[in-house]
Structure 1
Amino acid sequence: MKAVKKIETQAASWCAREDRGLSAAERADLDAWLGGDLDHRIAYLRIKAAWQDDVITAAAESVVRQSAPRRWRFALAPSWAAAVATVLCLIIGGGYVLLSRPDVYATEIGQQMTVSLADGSRVELNTNTRLRAKILRHSRTITIDHGEAYFHVAHNAAVPFVVFVGSQKVSDVGTKFLVRQDGDQAEILVTEGAVRIENSKRSVQPRFAKAQDDVHVNGDAVVASKNSAQEIADKLSWRDGFLVFNQTSLAAVAAEFNRYNTKQIVVMGEARGLKIGGRFRSDNLTGFVALLHDSFGLSVQETEQAFVISK
């Protein structure tokens, strides 16, 4: 008969380690452990589900935060009870305190937000951005679901600050950097200090980026370039409510404006390749469209949902 209790303890330990972020070697060890025995996988899946359950989260937070002994009563099914007991034993025994639910921060289209985190770090969220932050004593993790954010990371050499964006894991101790996710593509722009970039799903050689490095990731393709101080300032101009373009196609300019406005710009035909340069307010859609008509002679047709631009 297999040691069920031992397997459940191992599964809970793996869930805790996975929660704070696994290295490539640890990920390989977890895969080997899961593949070595069907009971391992069953225990892992059960405790992983329990780990994310609201009731268990509340129980864990209560145990960690209580200042005096109390009685706690929970109506849990037997299959959940074993998982809860194992996880709480890890917490009470000083193993892991990782069950608190992440804080979720989100902005609507055209909205921006600055968030101060529990460790002293600060995050500036751009338009239409959603991220989850879990700042604990032994781990600091951010997961970007979509959008763009600029991080001012509080220095803590003992606890790296980790940002997950798509398949990329960006690790840092204390610096400033921009992360943007657009579908399967990600951009990491470092403005101060350095970060470590690695694929969180595949075992590949990590990449290090330092100040003024701009790293673009599209699937397995990684392209890095060096940005000038002016280029960095232009890319961060959204923090002041502006968009800056330098000989950028009108199609790309429209796509950028569309991130900040519910009413969209639709560019048709040859007008898509027209090159645009200048500094524009991200919310002044009417003024920009008027410029296209008055200065470039483009046709503008307005509907309820969009401005349609053509030659």
Structure 2
Amino acid sequence: MSPTESQTRQPVPPARLAEASVWIARLHGDARGRELEDGLRRWLQEDPDNARAFELATEVWEEAANLRRFIALPRSERRPARMWFRPLLAAASCAIVLVIAGFLWLQYRGVITTDVGEQRQVVLDDGTRVFLNTDTRIEVNFEQQVRRVELRRGEAFFNVAKRKEWPFVVVVGDREVRALGTSFVVRKDAGRTAVTLVEGSVLVTPLPTAVNTVAPKIIEAPGAAAQLPSELASVPSEHGGTRVEGVKLAPGQRLTFSNDAPVELDTPSVERTTAWRRGQVILDDTPLQAAAAEMNRYNQTKLVVQDPEAGALLINGLFQAGDSTHFANAVAQAYGLTVIQRGNDIVISGKPVQ
């Protein structure tokens, strides 16, 4: 199957998503029976978009399971609850599916963002799942030859759907991360970009340009932490044009680019790298100044460390993302520091007692 066929189909029309949502709600209601199931089979066979819509709506239904638990409906004393609760629950659930499916439709084809302290999961048209961390912006552009997502800022976890003939590329700064059936994290801060491979394989290269006319030379990343000062550079080719050098990562490896610094390779804890997906921040011998900056990603109220000596303290532990007050109080209690709320800042001051 070529990438110009079903792999590059247009997104599911909203009307089909609405129809699929109604089918799912009816299947979870009291009216389910042989006739309903036969009708669903006929509808699925009418058009390939129907099957795609049903698959997407089913995923949204499953994602909405937690929301359905909190639907509160009034009970009538004159009728058994069973007679009306399930139809209303199905209708309410259908509404949830429609709202979420509509949200996915509006979002995943263009720009997707999260605010400070917000996290979000979206399912792209190809089945790829993207988890966005706090204050993140991505731009999705699926073309016939390539599935392309650009990370403009923040951090995202990509669980890429396997499409061998339709490459998946994440553009971040002046680099691109090419994957196939892979899970990886890309993070872009001011002056620093990091790519961490969780599962599968990725190739990280500079963005191709008009002069990059020669196939890239692939460098297998070494198993241990290292500096890679010459990798990922464009170098002249003996055959003319420019050859792009790229680094192929193994699971668990992280490639970090910083302004005016060598490319670094290390193997951080995957649990720590992906802790934000569980709403956690794991610190491992992290200087307090850097730890405060990490906590500040999740909160409009900012931690400020006044004393340089305190800022150099090494912090270890697991903290709730966004709970800056608890973090500041825990650090202050451990090292004899003072915490003061000053406007939108939580100021940590004093000389540490060790």
Q: What band does the TM-score fall into relative to the shorter chain?
A: 0.5 to 0.7
Tell me if 1:235 matches 2:276: no
Residue of structure 2 in register with 1:264 after alignment: 302
Separation of aligned partners in 2, 1:148 and 1:127? 7
SS of 1:156's partner is: coil
CA shift in 2, pair 1:188/1:267, >3 Å: same
Give the conservation status (yes or no) of the 8 Å contact 2:282–2:316: yes
Separation of aligned partners in 2, 1:298 and 1:263? 19
Post-superposition shift, 1:159?
A: 1.1
Tell me if 1:251 matches 2:258: no
Give the conservation status (yes or no) of the 8 Å contact 1:302–1:308: yes
Residue of structure 1 in register with 2:168 after alignment: 161
Residue of structure 1 in register with 2:340 after alignment: 301
Residue of structure 2 in register with 1:36 after alignment: none
Tell me if 1:216 matches 2:256: yes
Post-superposition shift, 1:102?
A: 5.2
Separation of aligned partners in 1, 2:186 and 2:205? 14
Question: Deviations for 1:247-303, whole angstroms, at most 9, x for unmatched residues?
Answer: 110001000000000000010121100111000001221111111222221011211
Tell me if 1:121 matches 2:128: yes
CA-based RMSD: 1.8
The worse-fitting range, judged by mean Cα deviation, of 159-168 and 137-146 is 137-146
Post-superposition shift, 1:160?
A: 0.9
Separation of aligned partners in 2, 1:245 and 1:105? 28
Give the conservation status (yes or no) of the 8 Å contact 2:179–2:202: yes
Question: Deviations for 1:24-77, whole angstroms, at most 9, x for unmatched residues?
Answer: xxxxxxxxxxxxxxxxxxxxxxxxxxxxxxxxxxxxx9xxx9xxxxxxxxxxxx
Post-superposition shift, 1:226?
A: 2.5
**For 1:25-44, what aligned pairs fall within 5 Å after superposition?**
none
Give the conservation status (yes or no) of the 8 Å contact 1:189–1:213: yes
Give the conservation status (yes or no) of the 8 Å contact 1:117–1:135: no
Give the conservation status (yes or no) of the 8 Å contact 1:166–1:184: no
Match of 1:109 among 103, 116, 126: 116
SS of 1:205's partner is: strand
Residue of structure 1 in register with 2:323 after alignment: 284
Q: Mind listing any 5+ residue stretches in structure 2 that lack a counterpart?
A: 1-9, 14-107, 210-232, 235-243
Separation of aligned partners in 2, 1:118 and 1:102? 8
Separation of aligned partners in 2, 1:225 and 1:294? 33
Q: Mind listing any 5+ residue stretches in structure 1 that lack a counterpart?
A: 1-60, 66-100
SS of 1:206's partner is: strand
Separation of aligned partners in 1, 2:246 and 2:109? 26
Give the conservation status (yes or no) of the 8 Å contact 1:109–1:128: yes
Residue of structure 1 in register with 2:41 after alignment: none
Say how many residue pairs are matched.
Answer: 210
Question: Deviations for 1:8-29, whole angstroms, at most 9, x for unmatched residues?
Answer: xxxxxxxxxxxxxxxxxxxxxx
SS of 1:164's partner is: strand
Post-superposition shift, 1:175?
A: 0.5
Separation of aligned partners in 2, 1:199 and 1:138? 19
SS of 1:154's partner is: coil
Post-superposition shift, 1:135?
A: 2.2
Question: Deviations for 1:158-181, whole angstroms, at most 9, x for unmatched residues?
Answer: 111000001111101110000000
Identity of aligned residues (%): 34
Post-superposition shift, 1:139?
A: 1.8
Residue of structure 1 in register with 2:57 after alignment: none
Separation of aligned partners in 1, 2:347 and 2:328? 9
The residue type equivalent to 1:121 in the other structure is T
Give the conservation status (yes or no) of the 8 Å contact 1:119–1:135: no
Separation of aligned partners in 1, 2:331 and 2:191? 31
- TM score, norm. by length of structure 1: 0.65
Separation of aligned partners in 2, 1:192 and 1:278? 26
**For 1:40-79, what aligned pairs fall within 5 Å after superposition?**
none
Separation of aligned partners in 2, 1:206 and 1:133? 23
Give the conservation status (yes or no) of the 8 Å contact 2:296–2:322: no
